């Protein structure tokens, strides 16, 4: 089972970026936690981060070839990117939208997600644990699709 974790802009700044909102862990710390959970469950998790919308779109397209699910923290592109939404629509594997913070409890512009309608579900507000929940949701979806 191969699951691709994609991270959008400014998530490379985790650890020092608004720790009151996003916590103290770096993206590398979060990756370590996810990898440990993935190892226990015998699945392969790959982690990537980019500040570029085009690169993120390219990775979503690529995920459709060779991965079974995408766990996506699109960061600010969540609220702005039709291109990302269209890429998610174009692939045949499920995408799970995740956020560290509870976007619905923040500024109004964060309440709207352009990608939510084409993702299988949204996980937000659990801090770094949103990533582990994303992993569990992805495994569950893949297992269910194999049972069918």
Cite the active site residues.
22, 99
Site residue total, ligand DQA (CB under 6 A): 10
Residue from the set 49, 50, 95, 101 that interacts with ligand DQA by CB under 6 A: 101
Q: Closest CB to ligand DQA belongs to which residue?
A: 75
Residue from the set 110, 120, 126, 129 that interacts with ligand DQA by CB under 6 A: 110
Which 8-state DSSP code applies to residue 145?
H
| Closest distance of CB 143 from ligand DQA, Å | 26
Q: Quote the CA–CA distance of 87 and 20 in Å, as a whole number.
A: 32
Nearest Cα residue to 44 out of 91, 8, 4 = 4
One character per residue 66-95, x = contact with ligand DQA (rule: CB under 6 A): -------x-xx-x-----------------
Q: Does 133 bind ligand DQA (CB under 6 A)?
A: no
Nearest Cα residue to 7 out of 46, 42, 38, 65 = 46
Element (H, E) at 36: helix 27-40
């Amino acid at each position: 089972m191969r699951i691709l974790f994609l991270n959008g802009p400014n998530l490379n700044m985790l650890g020092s970026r608004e720790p009151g909102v996003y916590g103290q862990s770096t993206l590398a710390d979060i990756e370590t936690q996810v990898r440990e959970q993935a190892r226990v469950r015998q699945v392969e998790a790959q982690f990537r981060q980019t500040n570029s919308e085009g690169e993120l779109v390219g990775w979503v397209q690529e995920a459709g070839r060779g991965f079974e699910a995408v766990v996506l923290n699109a960061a600010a592109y969540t609220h702005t990117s039709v291109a990302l939404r269209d890429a998610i629509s174009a692939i045949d594997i499920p995408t799970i939208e995740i956020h560290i913070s509870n976007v619905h409890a923040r500024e109004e512009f964060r309440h709207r997600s352009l990608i939510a309608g084409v993702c299988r579900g949204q996980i937000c507000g659990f801090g770094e644990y949103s990533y582990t929940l994303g992993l569990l949701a992805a495994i569950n979806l893949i297992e269910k699709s194999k049972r069918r």
